[in-house]
């Protein structure tokens, strides 16, 4: 459920919505962090849900001592009216057995807000790729049938590849195929719900593995930016300069005890 | 299932793999019944004593100006010795829940912190001040439900919330090594509406809080209730007087300072509590 920051409701009609999937390497979430931090998008409300594990901390995008004191929660909505851009950031994992419930909650909010399009940033286990997927670009996209006629040509022109389907019974019968996004969290469930609900939705994902996934986030965002032009690159550069938020420090733990050396 | 490095909060299970969820669709009718039964059993129940439950109705809630919540043994120990030992408190209710780590969350009538309990106290001289000691494990799926059930029966217009808890210092993130930090120490988080002075430094990013304190703070932040959370980073997980005393700066805040017991009573309760713990943990007696 969306709860506005202040007393007045927020109108997000015809905005583009970007949201992450909680997926392998947290690539979608890291990419969303980069967008919010780079465009300095203000917070407009909370996505109040019992499907995500609660967590609180201080402002992850703090730029000075004053704004470092703002509390942040596990699911928050940011909006930039000048770009007609809304961003949902999810900061913790989906509680077991709540995957379907969170998809339903997201769908009903998306429908009520009347977004112009929804883009889900996600990732998929790199080790699950088949032989053909090993070569070429590590990015894939999926678009809902209603969104096909608006975007399929644009994405094809950009040279993007659609996520391949895999055989339901590999080696036995290759005619029956299904969509599989291992490690993609709720990506597949949300995509399928969006297909049913006829929502203009696209998934952009990257094949990756767990580790230091910051480079994956940068590259996924560059890919999305080619399509959406969220940030124009400064002259001469092929990609814009994304600004990593202050909270990305110490992602791999504290300093080491000096006595070790 | 793989472990995930980058995750800031760890869950009981991280089900990013879709396979697990898909299997559920094919479950038998009998399994579904069992699951529904389990879900019903996992509901959180708040029960108030007779006097209070007579006051509460669907359109009338319990007036409350301050709710103090202690989570875990040391925070409960602090509250028991420094606040509850004044004697001007009575048990007014309890919260019962059941999950995989907490099979018997029973109702207690004494003021000492007991394992596996979640007890509500009311101040005798000012019945609008409530205190909750929670030393049982609240499972992931019960956290927000806990908040909704507890806050659901309170009148929130003048409510202020204080949460106390502890956490291992190894979870504290800093450029230096945690090995060289003087422990225990306090860090605070506050909601947007909380305007009082905070007697300790605020928790710096990328440090975060999770569990019940995080659920309560999320609830308070979203529904615009002033709340503050004091996290004590310590290297001792069991009840211990040094960690308990680390909470003392919070008593300088007026709303809590007014509730402090006499120092004689504090020392007496503290001694009793620590002694009991020592006996329990001594193999040779």
Q: Which of A95, A182, A213 sits opposite B18 (nearest CB)?
A: A182
Does A46 contact B221 at a Cβ distance shorter than 8 Å? yes
C-alpha A191/C-alpha B18 separation (Å) is: 13
Instruction: Provide the number of CB pairs (under 8 Å) joining chain A to chain B.
Output: 161
State residue B2's pLDDT score.
42
B124–chain A nearest CA distance, Å: 33
Best B165, B177, B205, B235 member to test A by mutation, with max A CBs in 10 Å, is B205
C-alpha A160/C-alpha A204 separation (Å) is: 10
Closest CA to A105 of B144, B3, B210, B191: B144
Q: How far is CA B159 from CA A5, A43, A63, A197, B82, in A?
A: 19, 25, 31, 41, 22
Check whether B18 has a pLDDT greater than 80. Answer: no
What are the backbone dihedrals phi and psi of residue B23, each rounded to the nearest 5 degrees, phi first? -60, -35
A261–chain B nearest CA distance, Å: 13
Average pLDDT, chain A: 91
C-alpha B165/C-alpha B244 separation (Å) is: 10
Range in A21-30, A171-180, A213-222, B153-162 the model is least confident about: A171-180
B154–chain A nearest CA distance, Å: 20
Does B7 contact A93 at a Cβ distance shorter than 8 Å? yes
Check whether B178 has a pLDDT greater than 90. Answer: no
Average pLDDT for residues B127-156, to the nearest whole number? 92
Q: How far is CA A225 from CA A137, A159, A221, A241, B5, in A?
A: 16, 14, 6, 11, 27
Q: Which residue of B has its CA nearest to A71?
A: B191
Cis omega (within 30 of 0) for bond into B206: yes
Q: Which of A71, A74, A91 sits opposite B189 (nearest CB)?
A: A71
Residues 18-57 of B with CB under 8 A from A: 18-19, 21, 24
Q: How far is CA A168 from the centre of its chain?
A: 27
Average pLDDT, chain B: 84
Closest CA to B156 of B90, B61, B285: B61
Q: Which residue of B has its CA nearest to A246?
A: B205
Within 13 A of A222's CA, how many CA atoms are on the CB side? 15
* % of chain A at pLDDT higher than 70: 100
Tokens for A50, please give them. 């019992």
- Contact status, residue A58 vs residue B189, Cβ threshold 8 Å: yes
Does B203 contact A58 at a Cβ distance shorter than 8 Å? yes
Q: Across the strands, what pairs with A58?
A: A71
C-alpha A246/C-alpha B246 separation (Å) is: 29
Tokens for A257, please give them. 């005890």
Band (A131; pLDDT cuts 50, 70, 90): confident
**In this predicted model, what pLDDT tens digit does every residue of B179-226 receive, in sequence order?**
888 889 999 999 999 999 999 999 998 999 999 999 999 999 999 999
Check whether B19 has a pLDDT greater than 60. Answer: no
Best A56, A89, A209 member to test B by mutation, with max B CBs in 10 Å, is A56
**In this predicted model, what pLDDT tens digit does every residue of A200-221 receive, in sequence order?**
999 999 999 988 999 999 999 9
- Contact status, residue A42 vs residue A113, Cβ threshold 8 Å: no
Tokens for B122, please give them. 């009311």
What are the backbone dihedrals phi and psi of residue B177, each rounded to the nearest 5 degrees, phi first? -85, 145
Range in A14-28, A34-48, B249-263, B269-283 the model is least confident about: B269-283
Closest CA to B209 of B110, B90, B72, B87: B72
pTM of the entire structure? 0.90
Best A5, A43, A57 member to test B by mutation, with max B CBs in 10 Å, is A57
Check whether B31 has a pLDDT greater than 60. Answer: yes
Closest CA to B43 of B116, B134, B135, B141: B141
- Contact status, residue A244 vs residue A160, Cβ threshold 8 Å: no
* % of chain B at pLDDT higher than 90: 42
């Amino acid at each position: 459920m969306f709860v506005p920051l202040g007393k007045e409701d927020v109108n997000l009609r015809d905005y583009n919505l970007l949201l992450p999937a909680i997926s392998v390497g947290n690539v979608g979430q890291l990419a969303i962090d980069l967008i919010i931090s780079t465009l300095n998008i203000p917070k407009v409300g909370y996505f109040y849900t019992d499907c995500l594990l609660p967590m609180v901390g201080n402002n992850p995008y703090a730029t000075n001592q004053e704004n470092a004191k703002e509390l942040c929660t596990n699911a928050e909505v940011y909006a930039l009216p000048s770009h007609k851009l809304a961003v949902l950031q999810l900061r913790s994992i989906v509680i077991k057995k709540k995957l379907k419930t969170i998809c339903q909650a997201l769908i009903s909010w998306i429908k009520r807000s009347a977004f112009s399009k929804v883009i889900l940033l996600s990732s998929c286990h790199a080790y699950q790729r088949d032989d053909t997927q090993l070569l070429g670009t590590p990015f894939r996209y999926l678009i809902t049938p209603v969104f096909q006629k608006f975007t399929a040509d644009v994405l094809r022109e950009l040279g993007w590849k659609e996520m391949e389907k895999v055989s339901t019974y590999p080696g036995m019968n290759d005619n029956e195929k299904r969509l599989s996004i291992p490690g993609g969290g709720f990506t597949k469930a949300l995509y399928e719900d969006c297909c049913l609900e006829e929502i203009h939705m696209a998934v952009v994902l990257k094949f990756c593995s767990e580790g230091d996934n910051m480079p994956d986030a940068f590259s996924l965002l560059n890919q999305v930016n080619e399509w959406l032009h969220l940030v124009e690159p400064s002259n001469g550069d092929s990609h814009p300069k994304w600004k990593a938020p202050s909270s990305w420090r110490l992602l791999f733990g504290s300093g080491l005890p000096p006595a070790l050396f | 299932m793989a472990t995930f490095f980058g995750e800031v909060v760890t869950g009981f299970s991280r089900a990013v793999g879709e396979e697990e969820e898909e299997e559920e669709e094919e479950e038998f009718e009998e399994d579904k019944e069992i699951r529904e039964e389990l879900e019903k059993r996992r509901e959180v129940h708040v029960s108030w004593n007779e006097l209070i439950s007579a006051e509460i109705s669907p359109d009338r809630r319990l007036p409350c100006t301050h709710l103090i919540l202690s989570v875990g043994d040391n925070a409960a120990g602090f509250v028991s010795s420094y606040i509850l030992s004044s004697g001007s408190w009575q048990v007014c209710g309890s919260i019962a829940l059941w999950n995989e780590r907490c099979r018997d969350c029973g109702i207690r009538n004494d003021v000492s912190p007991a394992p596996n309990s979640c007890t509500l106290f009311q101040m005798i001289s000012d019945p609008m001040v409530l205190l909750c000691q929670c030393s049982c494990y609240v499972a992931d799926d019960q956290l927000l439900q806990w908040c909704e059930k507890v806050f659901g029966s309170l009148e929130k217009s003048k409510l202020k919330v204080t949460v106390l808890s502890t956490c291992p210092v190894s979870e504290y993130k800093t450029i230096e090594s945690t090995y060289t930090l003087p422990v225990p120490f306090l860090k605070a988080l506050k909601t947007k509406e909380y305007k009082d002075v905070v007697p300790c430094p605020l928790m710096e990013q990328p440090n975060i809080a999770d569990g019940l304190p995080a659920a309560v703070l999320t609830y308070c932040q979203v529904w615009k209730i002033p709340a503050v959370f004091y996290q004590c980073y310590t290297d001792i997980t069991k009840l211990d007087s040094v960690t308990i005393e680390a909470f003392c700066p919070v008593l300088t805040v007026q709303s809590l300072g007014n509730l402090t017991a006499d120092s004689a009573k504090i020392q007496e309760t503290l001694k009793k509590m620590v002694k009991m713990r020592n006996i329990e943990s001594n193999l040779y007696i």
